[in-house]
Amino acid sequence: MSPLVELTFEGPVAQIVLRRPDKLNALDRDMVDALAEAARTIEASRETRAAILTGEGKAFCAGGDIAAWGGLPALEMWRDWTRSGHRAFEALARLRVPLIAALTGHAFGGGLELAAVADVRVAETGIKLGLPETGLGMIPGWSGTQRLVRRFGASVVRRMALTGRLFTAEEACELGLVDEVTAPNEALPRAKTLAGDVAARGPLAVQMAKAMINAAEGEDRDAPIEGLAGALTAMTDDLAEGVAAFKGKRAPRFVGR
């Protein structure tokens, strides 16, 4: 993993921290890949029940580093930069456990798209959020026109993407972009409290509830539905009989339970 993305575990709670404060936590390719690796590591940890995502310094994340993508040819922009970001962000959005974003600083462009993968967003007063890409002649490329519309509504996204409007934390809370607003330096402690609340609840119930909410929202709809159906059939006598019949090279005797 990139040294600019730190993943730690404290009991049942994982924490991802962007550590590139001198660049406002702008994402380069190594950081994008590290976010995907962090998601895989959290997913593989059966002890983890909640996760926190935050950034060090004055910004949560200022988006994609222009130095990383500004000179890419068109096909490389699509093949490499845009698709790698989608893979990483989708892995975070589809984590088995709830993800809480602590916005301790501004979230612009890809940074807001990153915040949007979380299930809950806590923002500190004084920060701003927006999608400034069209001011650079670019469009939001990491699901700003897709996931953000599904989660926050087309009207809000239009105002940010088409006009460059920036929202304060308080305005963002009224519009549903964030869930809570705290005083300065309080977003991360509040996120930890929320993560503790999540971790104290029935882990399987929480994870299944998240999967069903994601499916209803259009986020990874197929896997949760087929996963639950597969889990249900895995508990049946018929499956045990089918496996035993296969191993014994005989016809199964199904009983419908």
Active site residue 186: no
Within 13 Å and on the Cβ side, how many CA atoms surround 129?
31
Active site residue 133: yes
Place of tokens 């998601």: 39
Closest CA to 100 of 85, 124, 116: 116
Q: Which distant-in-sequence residues (6+ apart) come within 8 Å of 20 by Cβ?
A: 4, 26, 31, 56
Q: Which of 10, 56, 124, 133 is catalytic?
A: 133
Grouping H, G, I as helix, E, B as strand and the rest as coil, residue 113 is helix
- The secondary structure of the chain in percent helix, strand, coil, rounded to multiples of 5, reads 50, 15, 35
Q: Which of 37, 43, 113, 180 is catalytic?
A: 113
Residue 239 in tokens: 């499956």
**What phi and psi values does residue 83 have, to the nearest 5 degrees?**
-70, -35
Q: What is the dihedral of CA 153, 173, 28, 55, to 10 degrees?
A: -160
Known catalytic residues?
A: 113, 133
